């Protein structure tokens, strides 16, 4: 009787593992291959597609919350990814809290897209708190969410301390004059932010005056 030979990740030649990786997409490599075992981590560390992986997008996976959780967990030790696009993923408080932990520890991510999710004032508080510690993120998209004045207060407090964020998109949120006033006060101290998108924000005369005096909006 012929003895069966079982190949294992512990014994497969590196070249064979590379061929297997060639047939996987970047998300699968990042979320399903990494941290399976020490040897596989060593191999993926030298795999060209992993070394050059700088952008991941799972935009539009609104009904697949587990993908978002998997991705966030996978990125905790990642040293290559600079752009993360998780627009349209039904991100709520728990996912935002997980993202905040990631932001506090990640030293390479520069662009985070969180548009068209379900981020409310509590969720954005988690992210804002992380921004007081994160020193690499330069672009943050929070457009089309459920952020109100209380959430903007948290972001404003973060902007007073954060010196690296240059682009902030708050368009299509439910922000009123109180939030705009807090934001304007923060921008008197923060000189790093160069782009602030407030498209479709229905702030009134007070908010318009506050921001126009600083050159952020034009009065008509």
Are 207 and 197 in contact, with CB atoms under 8 Å apart? no
How high is the pLDDT of residue 65? 61
Check which CATH number belongs to the domain holding 193 and give it: 3.80.10.10
Co-location of 165 and 198 in the same domain? yes
Taking 70 as the pLDDT cut, the residues of the chain under it are: 1-7, 9, 62-65, 67, 217-220
What is the per-residue pLDDT across 146-203, written as a single tens digit (0 to 9) for each? 999 999 999 999 999 999 999 999 999 999 999 999 999 999 999 999 999 999 988 7
Co-location of 157 and 96 in the same domain? yes
In a domain, 3, yes or no: no
Local structure of 2: helix, strand or coil: coil
Co-location of 109 and 48 in the same domain? no
Mention every residue, 6+ apart, whose C-beta is less than 8 A from residue 5: none
Co-location of 23 and 93 in the same domain? no
How high is the pLDDT of residue 6? 47
pTM score, whole prediction: 0.88
Co-location of 15 and 98 in the same domain? no
Co-location of 33 and 130 in the same domain? no
Co-location of 107 and 185 in the same domain? yes
How many domains does the chain fold into?
2
Co-location of 166 and 108 in the same domain? yes
In a domain, 34, yes or no: yes
How high is the pLDDT of residue 217? 62
Q: What angle do CA 20, 21, 23 make, to 5 degrees?
A: 75
In a domain, 218, yes or no: no
Co-location of 41 and 68 in the same domain? no
Neighbours of 4 (CB within 10 A): 5
In a domain, 170, yes or no: yes
Query: For 54-192, where are the alpha helices, taking DSSP H only?
Result: 65-74, 93-105, 121-131, 149-161, 177-189
How high is the pLDDT of residue 175? 94
Co-location of 105 and 207 in the same domain? yes
In a domain, 5, yes or no: no
In a domain, 181, yes or no: yes
Find the domain containing 38 and state its range.
10-53
Q: Please name the residue that has the structure tokens 């973060």.
A: 158
CA gap 2, 146 in Å, rounded: 64
In a domain, 2, yes or no: no
Co-location of 154 and 68 in the same domain? yes
Are 100 and 70 in contact, with CB atoms under 8 Å apart? no
117, with CB counted inside 10 A (0-12, 13-18, 19+), is: buried
In a domain, 145, yes or no: yes
Co-location of 77 and 137 in the same domain? yes
């Amino acid at each position: 009787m012929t003895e069966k030979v079982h190949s294992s990740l512990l014994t497969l030649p590196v070249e064979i593992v590379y061929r297997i990786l060639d047939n996987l997409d970047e998300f699968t490599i990042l979320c399903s291959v990494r941290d399976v075992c020490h040897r596989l981590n060593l191999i993926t560390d030298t795999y060209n597609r992993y070394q050059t992986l700088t952008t991941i997008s799972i935009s539009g996976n609104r009904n697949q919350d587990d993908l978002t959780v998997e991705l966030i967990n996978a990125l905790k030790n990642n040293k290559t990814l600079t752009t993360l696009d998780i627009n349209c993923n039904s991100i709520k408080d728990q996912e935002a809290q997980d993202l905040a932990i990631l932001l506090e520890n990640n030293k390479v991510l520069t662009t985070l897209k969180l548009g068209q999710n379900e981020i409310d004032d509590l969720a954005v508080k988690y992210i804002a708190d992380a921004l007081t510690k994160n020193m690499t993120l330069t672009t943050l998209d929070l457009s089309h969410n459920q952020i109100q004045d209380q959430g903007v207060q948290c972001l404003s407090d973060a902007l007073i301390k954060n010196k690296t964020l240059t682009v902030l998109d708050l368009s299509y949120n439910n922000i009123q004059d109180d939030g705009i006033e807090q934001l304007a006060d923060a921008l008197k101290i923060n000189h790093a932010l160069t782009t602030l998108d407030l498209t479709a924000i229905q702030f009134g005369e007070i908010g318009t005056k506050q921001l126009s005096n600083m050159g952020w909006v034009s009065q008509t």
